[in-house]
Structure 1
Amino acid sequence: MTKFRLFAALLSTAAFGMASCSDANSDNSAVQAAAKSDSAIPFKIEQTATFDEPWAIAVEPGTGLLFITERGGTIKFYDPKSGQIGSVTSGIPKVDYGGQGGLGDIVFAPDYAQSGMVYLSWAEAGAGDTRGAAVGRGKLSCDGTTSCSIDGLQVIWRQTPKVSGRGHYSHRIAFSPDGQYLFISSGERQKKDPAQDLSNTLGTIVRLLPNGTPAPGNPFADRGGVSDQIWSYGHRNVLGLKFDSEGRLWDLEHGPAGGDELNLVEKGKNYGWPLVSGGDDYNGDPIPDPSTRPDLQKAAISWTPVIAPGDFIFYSGKLWPEWKGQVLIANLKTTSISRVSVANPEKAEEIARYSFDNRLRDIAEAGDGTLWVIEDGKSAKLLHLTPQQ
């Protein structure tokens, strides 16, 4: 029986109708309750370009170009000034496309202005009917305004082990604010128990040096093997990974039938999956509630019914000052943006929820404080959000 233990305040605008979210690739299937009405939507929405199954947006430092990965294995870029779309024509890795797999995250290196390095994640085929997440880096080179390449792409990390199935890769990438450490979310690949096993990296967040080697000082390095990569464990499917302005790492995680989570990620902590959850198994089998295991790390906020988050940002406050430091989440299941306060990091609060027509996959903030949001699926629209006049 699905838990309704925690129900964050659900606030939604009536400006956009809710669309059906049933999808073969959906990470959650719980029915979302109707949201309450909110005040007028606080932004104008401009529809720009369309993309094919986009997964991630990254704003190129200096130019403001938007680089967008498409799960089938392509990368395109959009120029907000001209409206022109270009493509990365070479250097993209071969991906194992299917289910939730394909090309994933794209992140510019902290020293991108000097190095030109860009980091990618993707689903990679293994021996037999196995696959796993991989992360690589290479130098981005652009020729004119419509064509780029990634030169010298090298794999620097692989999820261990490769397993069967095509779900829960996670493979989000984040650099520490000082640029010294590379964090990668590694999903438990729908296998559950490995998330509690420190001899593999399934269901973990790993902490590496920018070249992919394990970072010194990781909490389980003395165990040997790939445990020297692990920063935290007990995770399910982490589709958001970001640092806040205070240098704290947060993740955004899919639960099963209930129990999506926003977590403050700390060194060596166990986040409980599959021992506990705010949700139950899809077949209705109960999972113990987090309150039954006070020794495990608790979520800052969880959602039942689910929101099925795509990704999130911490907003700067440039154009919406009252949002400074708050979390903006692009949601798949609820076709919405959730705005969450983490002023109390132990008990976050959903302040508002703004409804859209379609599933939202990712969100990014431009240098001027405006927002870019990409829909999910085929013919997904890139949306530009600016303040209401």
Structure 2
Amino acid sequence: MRLSSRSAAWPAIHVSALVLALAVSSAPAAGQVVPPGVSLRTVATGLANPWAVAFLPGGEFLVTERSGTLRVVDAGGKVSAAVAGVPRVASGGQGGLLDVVTDARFETNRRIFFCFSEPAGAGASGSSTALARATLSADARSLQDVQVIFSQRPKVESSLHFGCRIVQAADGNLWLTLGERYHRKDDAQKLDNHHGKIVRITPDGAPLADNPHAKQAGALPEIWSYGHRNPQGATLGPDGKLWMHEHGPQGGDEINVPQPGRNYGWPVITYGENYGGGKMGEGTAKAGMEQPLHYWVPSIAPSGMAFVTSDRYGSAWQGSLLVGSLKFGTLHRLELNAGKVVREQKLLEGNGGRIRDVRQGPDGFIYLLTDSRDGKLLRLQPGN
């Protein structure tokens, strides 16, 4: 039994849709629901449990596979051999090679950041989420100058809830989302560890001097916000703020816009319940703990997150927030007004793929990854 959000089906949301293909051709495939005028196209296949996609100049893609492999997909969909230089990962359960992003100045420095489940050193046990920096070689065949710039503390025996989404702010600094490792859920309320936290660091891995707990005795200076469960979606909003979502237990998946020093409640408050049923925590609200911007009951098992800022899909989609669902293989489009969710549209219902990542590319198109042994890189393509 998987110990992340996996509960009964979300009630159907009726949307006007066409039945379209999961292929570069436009032949229909029964059960695939997308908006009118938009087709779902396959860019690449044969990816083994892909977890994240980043974009390279010239139309290439950088894709992580959870087993620990980094690959390059060219503009024609050809998947490369493994990129050399990836450090050893604790692959198993939900762990492995996870998120990857390119630096804002990649075209001049070829720098990337990636996070992974890092095994303990010789003679020790356990694992934690780590963030590494590296330079992608000019031929994109190897990583050079690999350096782990942050390691979650402490390492624990668990293959669950690593979190591991990276967002680079406009100032070049980084946010990293960190899961509470499931069995250590109570750690999410304590500031002497990194479990169930979002951290904010420089590209060299140092905590920022203006972080909310930087001068607080007994608190780790990297912490930005706390009380999180298993955050597997994060993105920079058009407002310049960090937006993220996290898995609840049976229900209570949340979207938050985490503010510095704020407590987001896990495991004290939640809209979910214990696995198998029964109350979790103290209820849904408590003084000093933040309410989610939006939540799902039952769970959709969210992963991946992106804002639509391009005009590729028309004005109705601009400003929408897209969230993928692992459980249902659906893409959720959230319309926002004054920072509030005012409408939710469920897309791609019945496509049979676990959506792991959602990104807007530099070309303005939306790209998706499906998490399976034969995972796919897909593009939402305007036009029938």
- Please report the TM-score for the alignment, with normalisation by the length of structure 1: 0.88
* SS at 1:361 equivalent: strand
Where does residue 214 of structure 1 map in the other structure? 207
1:265 is matched with 258
1:369 to 358, 364, 368: 364
When structure 1 is superposed on structure 2, of 271-280 and 216-225 the one drifting more is 216-225
Q: Of 145, 152, 166, which residue of structure 2 is paired with 1:152?
A: 145
RMSD over aligned CA atoms reads 1.8
Establish whether residue 189 from structure 1 lines up as the match of residue 166 from structure 2: no
Q: Note the C-alpha offset of 1:226.
A: 5.9
Distance apart, 1:224 and its partner CA = 4.2
- Tell me how far apart the structure 2 counterparts of residues 241 and 262 of structure 1 sit (CA, whole Å): 9
Tell whether the 8 Å contact from 1:299 to 1:346 is kept in structure 2 after alignment: no
- Return the match for 1:56 from 52, 59, 79: 52
Q: Distance in 1 between matches of 2:12 and 2:54?
A: 30
* CA contact 2:6–2:300 (8 Å) conserved in 1: no
Match of 2:58, as an amino acid? Answer: T
- Matched residue, 1:65: 60
Q: Which residue of 2 aligns with 1:387?
A: 382
CA distance in 2, matches of 1:203, 1:375: 25
Bigger CA drift: 286-295 or 117-126? 286-295
8 Å CA contact retained: 1:57, 1:69: yes
Q: How does 1:119-268 map to 2 (within 5 A)?
A: 119-126=113-120, 128-143=124-139, 148-179=141-172, 181-190=173-182, 191-224=184-217, 227-268=220-261
Of the structure 1 ranges 368-377 and 95-104, higher mean CA displacement relative to structure 2 is found in 368-377
Q: Secondary structure at the match of 1:270?
A: coil
Q: Deviations over 1:297-342 (max 9, x none)?
A: 1111000011101111011132112111111111101210000123
Higher relative contact order, structure no. (Cα contacts within 8 Å, ≥ 6 residues apart): 1
Please give the secondary structure, in 1, of the residue aligned with 2:16: coil
Which residue among 111, 114, 135 is the counterpart of 1:117? 111
1:257-302 C-alpha deviation (Å, 9 max, x unpaired): 1000110111110000000001011132302576431421111100
| 1:339 matches 2:333 | yes
Counterpart Cα distance in 2 of 1:95 and 1:194: 23
Distance 2:281 2:3 in 1: 24
**CA 1:218 to 1:375, structure 2 compared with 1: closer, same or farther past 3 Å?**
same
1:156-200 per-position Cα deviation (integer Å, ceiling 9, x unaligned): 000010011100011111111232x11101110002100000001
Alignment partners' CA distance in 2, 1:289 and 1:350: 28
2:102 to 108, 128, 135: 108
Q: Does the CA contact (< 8 Å) of 1:250 and 1:263 recur in 2?
A: yes
1:217-257 Cα shifts (integer Å, max 9, x gaps)? 11112234661100000000000111111111111100001
Aligned in 2, Cα 1:248/1:318: closer, same or farther, shift over 3 Å? same
Q: Letter of the aligned partner of 1:367 in structure 2?
A: P
Asked if 2 retains the 8 angstrom alpha-carbon contact of 1:290 and 1:298, the reply is no
1:282–1:344 Cα change, 3 Å: farther
Paired residues in the alignment total: 360
Work out whether residues 334 and 341 of structure 2, in 8 Å CA contact, stay in contact via their aligned partners in 1.
no
Corresponding position of 1:37: 14
Matching residue's letter, 2:177:
S
Q: Distance in 2 between matches of 1:58 and 1:26?
A: 28
Measured in 2, the distance between the counterparts of 1:26 and 1:193 equals 16
Runs of 4+ in 1 over 6 A off after TM superposition: none
Q: TM-score, normalised by structure 2?
A: 0.89
Worse-superposed segment, 156-165 or 356-365: 356-365
One-letter code aligned to 1:67: L
Instruction: Provide structure 1 residue ranges, at least 5 long, that are not aligned to the other structure.
Output: 1-23
Shift of 1:117: 0.7
| 1:310 counterpart letter in structure 2 | S
Q: Is the 8 A contact 2:49 2:374 kept in 1?
A: yes
Note the residue ranges of structure 2 that are not aligned, 5 or more in a row: 18-33
